[in-house]
Structure 1
Amino acid sequence: MKYKVLLIDDEPSALEGMQLWIDWEELGFELCGTCGNGREGLRLMKQLQPDLVITDVNMPLMNGLEMIEAWQQQDAVRPKFVILSGYSEFEYARTAISYGISHYLLKPVFPEEAAEELREIHQELEQEESRRTIHEIASEEEVAVLIRALLYGKKAEPVLQELLDGLPGFQGIGAWNLCLIQTAPELYAELRGRAAALLTAYLAMVMMDLEAGMLGIVYGIPADSRDGSAIEGGLKSLRQEYSSGQIYMAIGAPETSLPDIAESYRSAKEALLHFFYHPEHAGVMVYREIEGNPFSYHYDHIRLMDALLDSVNLLDADSYRKALEEAEHSFRAQHVAPEVVKKFVIHLMYRISELAAGAEDSGVEQGAAVFGIPEIQQAMLPLNALLSHLLSCGEMAIDLLIREQNQKSHGIVQEINEYIGAHFQESLSIQKLAEVFFLHPVYLGQLLIKKNGMTFNEQLHHLRIQEAAVLLRGSKLKLSEIAERVGYVNYGQFLKRFEKEMHMGPNEYRHAKF
């Protein structure tokens, strides 16, 4: 690390010699200024804030020791001092020691002697910087713990303000705010480090790890600034760096008092939720921009749930996709709260996974795990991603159930046909048949069409008319008796069906010669 040096001497030749003959850069220093008296030295120390001041003792207007005494009385940040004196001015050196100054150089200054002294001073500065950094890190960590407690509703500890007063950059703060950053777990560590690097120049800032891998940045807004635009600019730069990754950033509402920062946390979390409907948002979501757009907690969840589950039960993938599109439209139109939508989706996925897990030989032993429900519960997903998971879940379940039904259908159709053949004279319906064979009526109807080449009703009427033809040729029963015996309650329907099937009326058929 390079440290800044201010040279003070009323002899121009002495200043020039120190500038030219000492290799400041090699020794770890850089010259930041020069002047010729103590009064000007005080002004430059305030302006330049050097780490080291090398000053002559005997100067006009204000000598070096008077300047050091005046500076120390201001209780300002103290740089290290080196005094320049000749052999005849040893009493000055003794006075300097009483001011806590342990380094001096004899005039004329020899580069080798100066280099040895400056190396020692550089080592001391490094040690002090290390101790200061360790102290600041420890203080920052303690501050982070105390502020995190404030976010979760605990009262402010008295020591908090004392710690803040001891950290650089936390003076003159007029308001406080908080930024939340949510990203994928695999990006979190990298993003946290990058955020610290980008915002390092903004001193009034505390970073902390919050729940579910969320990064929190509490920052102070100087009293002479209207907003936090300085740090917000750095946050936007960070967002742009990760424009292709899953990263959401939201800023809450500022509070004038740090103990009230929990309210900024609440508003930042609310702003973060708005990415649910706008994942393509490329910037930082700011609470003041979404404050007038609250979420709704009321929607017709029963209708949406029934429509989606019915589609799965009917093994109708097209209907399922349409029901899902309607659900998405409803969520967006009513601006339903993300946590409500997520609960709806997860509940529905559990219901669907139970249906799929019930299929024999489906391979779905742990439905929730197969459909990725545990991961969805932990992740912060926008609406389109959430519904994409639900779509995959439904389509996978329908595919599993169709395969199961196809496997069962190979042997069951013969049983169904035999049952129909034995009971066609009765009041038989597709609904009753579905109850007997524990199949969904729609699926049963589709299965019979696929295997028999005709609908259930066509099959039923065909069997009845064929039996009626046998009775007409082999008995003397009345037509109405035959109609009733083969299963027709309505005699007119019997006549229509017979003519359609046999292309002649029943009486004509009875007397026809074949």
Structure 2
Amino acid sequence: MTFKVLLIDDEPGALEGMQLWIDWPGIGFEVCGTGSNGVEGLKLIKELQPDLVVTDVNMPLMNGLEMIASWQEEQTRGVRFVILSGYSEFEYAQRALRYGVNHYLLKPIIPEEAEKELAEIHKVLVQEKEEQSLNQIASYEEIVSGIKTMLQGQPSDPAAASLLGRVSEIRERWNFCLVQTEADAFAELRGQAAALLYQEEAMYLIDLDMNRFGIVYGQSGSKDGEQASCRMLWELVRLYAGQRVFIVTGEEAGDLLQIGHSYRTAKAAMIYKFYDTAYDRIFRYEQISKGPLNYHYDQLQLVERITLAVTLLDQEALQEAIHSAARSFREMLIAPEIVKKAVIHIMCRIMEYVEKTSETKPGQLFGKYELPGLSDSVYILSDLMELLLACGTEGIELLAKEQSKQSQGVVQEVNDYIREHFRERLTLKKLGEIFYMHPAYLGQLLLKKNGLSFNELIHDLRIEEAARLLEQSELKNSEIAERVGYSHYGQFFKQFEARMRMSPNEYKKRSTMF
């Protein structure tokens, strides 16, 4: 354990000698600064906060004993002093005993003797530090225990109430910061918070349930005091960057004994954090400007709309349905637990349908999206909707892949059917009903397989048949048009001319010439 030492002497050579001749690191000290008189020494003690001050007695402006007396009158923090004196100044050493200074070194300094004396002081400082730490830990635990008792609504015993009353006086205002994390990240994030708050004054970490912990913190009326507590909370936000963590604060209380109110308002703010747009910021109770949460929502239409989009392999419709649902949730301020139940139900429907109609392994999607823990997870609305979109998109991709496999053999059957029935009023919708396929998807398959659209294929087959009949029969053109499937002669004429580059009559005349 290393302690800071401040050296004060008006003789530059003496200062340099103390720094060079004494093995400060070897006996557990580091020199944090030097001064040349008592006035400068007081200023340096305040700025550098040393654990030990080694000072000469006889100095200009203010001697060493006057400096020690002045510091002890202020009583701002405990500092040990060692005085330097020669044999002729021994009476100064005797006077120093009245100030509680019982360590002195004779000039000129003998390094071995000085190091031995300073090593003893180091042992005493270590012992004091350990005792101080134990006392701080005991006091900290008592304060935390008393706060938890109040949060649970239990009456505090007089001793605990008295302790909290004394703690309350060190700050003018108190508040509760509530932190919620994912279950698998709780231990690590809680540890980071504990390390950050270690030995911070007026800040106490409170363990709660449901992957939550709290930070009770005080703020003073000064700007510096307020900035200190805010700085610690924002440092926590910085530490948790990239994690799904909710950090909220309640309404301030003027007394630590009223911290229960801050806790309850922080819990209320935690619910509304669901509708925030980012994780990496602190949500305050004062930001709740909307009305009460709505716990009634008819999810049937939403479920049907999204599952239909998936079954039809319609990615655009899926995105629109989810974006519309998100807007509806936000506008109606639906309670997060209701939204999560709706999302879980929809995802279950998607997964069940995909597993039933494809070769997806049972439980594959359920395991990937961890539905059992979703109700207690830490999600803002936008990310929850993105999770639902990802599930629906993956469902569509798996179904499309499965249909692609199955359709390879079906397309030939469809083409055979079209060639046999092209003379009839044939549509993609009718073909879809016959072969149990969505019309749009079937049209895409036929285009990919044949290199031309369904309608173009029908017209080609009809005109090909019409040309054969014009060559081989005495039927009228209108009769041929009707026989190959056209109800209007004008349509037949248009399609024939487009494909054969001549009219039906011109084609018939040309056929008779050869």
| Length-normalised TM-score, structure 1 | 0.61
Asked if 2 retains the 8 angstrom alpha-carbon contact of 1:315 and 1:398, the reply is yes
Question: Alignment length, in residue pairs?
Answer: 429
In structure 2, what is the equivalent of residue 328 of structure 1? 326
The percent of aligned pairs where both chains have the same amino acid is 31
| Counterpart-to-counterpart distance in 2, 1:84 and 1:205 | 41
Residue 177 of structure 1: CA displacement?
1.2
Residue 176 of structure 1: CA displacement?
1.1
| Length-normalised TM-score, structure 2 | 0.61
In structure 2, what is the equivalent of residue 278 of structure 1? 276
In structure 1, what is the equivalent of residue 305 of structure 2? 307
Residue 205 of structure 1: CA displacement?
1.1
| Counterpart-to-counterpart distance in 2, 1:267 and 1:303 | 35
Distance 1:127 1:165, change over 3 A: farther
In structure 1, what is the equivalent of residue 104 of structure 2? 105
In structure 2, what is the equivalent of residue 116 of structure 1? 116
In structure 2, what is the equivalent of residue 472 of structure 1? none
- Counterparts of 1:108-507 in structure 2, within 5 Å, are 108=107, 110-112=109-111, 113-156=113-156, 158-160=158-160, 172-182=170-180, 202-224=200-222, 228-240=226-238, 243=241, 246-280=244-278, 283-292=281-290, 294-312=292-310, 316-359=314-357, 361-365=359-363, 368-398=366-396
Residue 158 of structure 1: CA displacement?
4.6
In structure 2, what is the equivalent of residue 417 of structure 1? none
In structure 2, what is the equivalent of residue 2 of structure 1? 3
| Counterpart-to-counterpart distance in 1, 2:47 and 2:168 | 20
Matched to 2:3, the amino acid is K
1:173 aligns to what SS in structure 2? coil
Could you say what the CA RMSD is over the residues aligned between the two structures, in angstroms? 5.7
Residue 256 of structure 1: CA displacement?
1.9
1:331 aligns to what SS in structure 2? helix
2:294 aligns to what SS in structure 1? coil
Residue 308 of structure 1: CA displacement?
2.6
| Counterpart-to-counterpart distance in 1, 2:161 and 2:41 | 34
Residue 322 of structure 1: CA displacement?
2.9
1:22 aligns to what SS in structure 2? helix
| Counterpart-to-counterpart distance in 1, 2:386 and 2:205 | 34
| Counterpart-to-counterpart distance in 2, 1:368 and 1:297 | 27
Asked if 2 retains the 8 angstrom alpha-carbon contact of 1:93 and 1:104, the reply is no
From 15, 22, 30, give the equivalent of 2:18. Answer: 22
Matched to 2:123, the amino acid is Q
Asked if 2 retains the 8 angstrom alpha-carbon contact of 1:362 and 1:404, the reply is no
1:305 aligns to what SS in structure 2? helix
Asked if 2 retains the 8 angstrom alpha-carbon contact of 1:352 and 1:394, the reply is yes
Asked if 1 retains the 8 angstrom alpha-carbon contact of 2:56 and 2:83, the reply is yes
Residue 328 of structure 1: CA displacement?
1.6
Residue 125 of structure 1: CA displacement?
0.7
In structure 2, what is the equivalent of residue 489 of structure 1? none
Distance 1:200 1:91, change over 3 A: closer
Asked if 1 retains the 8 angstrom alpha-carbon contact of 2:183 and 2:211, the reply is yes
Residue 330 of structure 1: CA displacement?
0.9
Asked if 1 retains the 8 angstrom alpha-carbon contact of 2:176 and 2:217, the reply is yes
Q: Which runs of 5+ in 1 are unaligned?
A: 415-429, 455-497, 505-514
| Counterpart-to-counterpart distance in 2, 1:17 and 1:226 | 41
1:328 aligns to what SS in structure 2? helix
| Counterpart-to-counterpart distance in 2, 1:63 and 1:357 | 85
In structure 2, what is the equivalent of residue 488 of structure 1? none
Asked if 1 retains the 8 angstrom alpha-carbon contact of 2:3 and 2:50, the reply is no
Matched to 1:132, the amino acid is Q
2:129 aligns to what SS in structure 1? helix
| Counterpart-to-counterpart distance in 2, 1:32 and 1:289 | 51
Note the alpha carbon deviations across 1:259-284, whole angstroms, 9 max, x for none.
Answer: 33233233334434444333347543
